[in-house]
């Protein structure tokens, strides 16, 4: 008995928590309920049930749930009548005692009739308690919390979902009077993990030729031009040796020729050295391994250092 009371309390809490909207519009609910009563008086019980459901959506009062159940009972839709009359009993504790007694009597008669009909009782329960249960036989009429429902013989699909959880669909084949128990435990949606992947570093900007290589090649060009000019001068002076009139004049031309010749050779040599170093530096540019050549020029001499990088 205590188990039944606990189950009833759980159903009542779940229904109440699901039914409370962001705000209650009592005036709209009363207007819709009046329309529903007018439809019921005119014999349109299906329309009355829809209007009562709309009124309950606007202002979820227990008496409106009772009216929905009564409309479906009069319409002959006993599975729906049982669902709403059950909710009326569970949530209508403050309603008129005599009225609730009549509802309980009607609910008992409905369940007795269902027990011998072509319907199967299904005891549904879902975790978490905030889960919504959608039954294909009642589109747009979700359930909340533990429920016993009655499904007509045939194949049915029941979808259970809740915010933050993975929805689950169960298949039900109703084909006997035996009660089926279905407890659905939803799995939480996987947590979204922020990506820790480090983006690759940007590609290095293209690097131009090293400065020293440019200087050396430019110097090689200057030395080469100078060497050629000195060479031309030396050849010219050598031609004047033949026309020298005196020994002193000849000695002077010979000294000038020798100076120009040595200077031209030095220019060519410096051009070759500078060009070789500049060309090598260009060749080595961008390589991670290889020798490094450092040249230092000072008054009275020069030094050359070679370092191999592995």
Which CATH code of 3.40.50.2300, 3.30.2010.30, 1.25.40.10, 3.40.50.2000 fits the domain covering 1-116?
1.25.40.10
Which among 126, 125, 123, 124 has a CA at the least distance from the CA of 187? 126
Say which residues have a Cβ less than 8 Å from residue 68's Cβ, sequence separation at least 6: 49, 52, 53, 56, 84
- Top CATH class of 118-190 equals mainly beta
- 57, 76 contact by CB (below 8 A): no
Say which residues have a Cβ less than 8 Å from residue 171's Cβ, sequence separation at least 6: 155, 156, 157
- Report how far residue 260's alpha carbon sits from residue 263's, in angstroms, rounded to the nearest whole number: 5
For CA atoms 36, 37, 42, 48, give the dihedral sign.
Answer: positive
Tokens of 72: 């479906």
Q: What is the pLDDT of residue 48?
A: 93
pLDDT tens track of the chain, all 310 residues?
434 334 444 444 444 444 444 457 889 999 999 999 999 999 999 999 999 999 999 998 999 999 999 999 999 999 999 999 999 998 888 888 998 899 999 999 999 999 999 999 999 999 998 899 999 998 888 988 888 899 999 999 999 999 999 999 999 999 999 999 999 999 999 987 666 676 777 766 555 556 776 777 777 777 777 877 777 777 777 777 667 667 777 677 677 778 878 887 887 788 788 777 877 776 776 554 445 555 555 555 555 554 544 4
Q: What is the pLDDT of residue 84?
A: 93
Tens digits of per-residue pLDDT, 157-196?
Answer: 999 999 999 999 999 999 999 999 999 999 999 987 666 6
Element (H, E) at 308: strand 301-309
Q: Where are the domains of the chain?
A: 1-116, 118-190, 211-309
3-state SS assignment for residue 210: coil
Q: What is the pLDDT of residue 242?
A: 67
């Amino acid at each position: 008995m205590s188990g039944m009371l606990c189950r009833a309390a759980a159903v009542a809490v779940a229904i109440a928590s699901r039914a409370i909207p962001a705000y209650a519009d009592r005036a709209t609910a009363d207007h819709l309920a009046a329309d529903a009563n007018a439809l019921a008086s005119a014999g349109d019980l299906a329309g009355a049930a829809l209007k009562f459901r709309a009124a309950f959506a606007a202002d979820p009062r227990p008496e409106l749930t009772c009216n929905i159940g009564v409309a479906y009972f009069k319409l002959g839709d006993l599975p729906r009548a049982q669902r709403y009359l059950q909710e009326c009993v569970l949530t209508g504790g403050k309603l008129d005692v005599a009225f609730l007694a009549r509802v309980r009597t009607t609910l008992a008669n409905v369940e007795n009739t269902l027990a011998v009909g072509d319907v199967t009782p299904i005891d549904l329960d879902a975790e978490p308690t905030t889960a919504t249960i959608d039954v294909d036989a009642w589109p747009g009429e979700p359930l909340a919390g533990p429920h016993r429902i009655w499904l007509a013989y045939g194949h049915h699909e029941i979808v259970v979902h809740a915010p933050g959880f993975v929805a689950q669909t169960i298949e039900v084949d109703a084909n006997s009077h035996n009660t089926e128990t279905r407890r659905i435990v939803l799995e939480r949606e996987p947590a979204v993990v922020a990506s820790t992947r480090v983006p690759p570093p940007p590609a290095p900007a293209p690097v131009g030729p090293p400065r020293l290589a440019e200087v050396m090649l430019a110097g090689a060009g200057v030395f080469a031009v100078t060497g050629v000019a000195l060479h031309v001068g030396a050849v010219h002076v050598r031609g004047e040796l033949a026309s020298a009139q005196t020994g002193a004049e000849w000695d002077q031309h010979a000294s000038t020729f020798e100076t120009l010749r040595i200077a031209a050779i030095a220019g060519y040599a410096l051009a070759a050295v500078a060009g070789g170093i500049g060309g090598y530096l260009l060749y080595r540019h961008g390589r991670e391994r290889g020798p490094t050549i450092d040249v230092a020029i000072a008054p009275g001499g020069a030094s050359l250092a070679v370092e191999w990088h592995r």
